[in-house]
Amino acid sequence: MATVILNHKVEDYKKWRPVFDADFRRRKEAGMQNEKVFRSADDPNHIYIVAEVADPSTTAKMMNDPDLAAKMKEGGVISKPSVTILNLA
């Protein structure tokens, strides 16, 4: 199991969160489990999503989905998402 950390900036967390929550099926289909959402202490519109995945390649496929890009635009994402994959040492 790997840990995936996704992060990006949004225009407004309160606008972004309902769009994110409604898109749960996409993340489930990508194998994301034990998801947690964090906001930066310095910038509450800088979002971090931390989840476990059995196969990190499914996260890459999800991030390249054009439908996800449209959903992110709808939610007010204003920066290119960053993806970090960590393996337990």
User: What integer pLDDT is reported at residue 60 of this predicted model?
Assistant: 86
* pTM score over 0.85: yes
User: What integer pLDDT is reported at residue 72 of this predicted model?
Assistant: 95
pLDDT per position as a tens digit, 69-88: 999 999 999 999 999 999 98
CATH class as words, domain 2-87: alpha beta
Per-position DSSP letters for 28-67, written without gaps between them: HHTT-EEEEEEE-SS-TTEEEEEEEES-HHHHHHHHT-HH
Residue type, 84: T
Please tell me the distance from the alpha carbon of residue 32 to that of residue 34, in angstroms, as a whole number.
7
Closest CA to 87 of 39, 60, 53: 53
pLDDT per position as a tens digit, 19-73: 999 999 999 999 999 999 999 999 999 999 999 999 989 988 999 999 999 999 9
Please tell me the distance from the alpha carbon of residue 77 to that of residue 85, in angstroms, as a whole number.
21
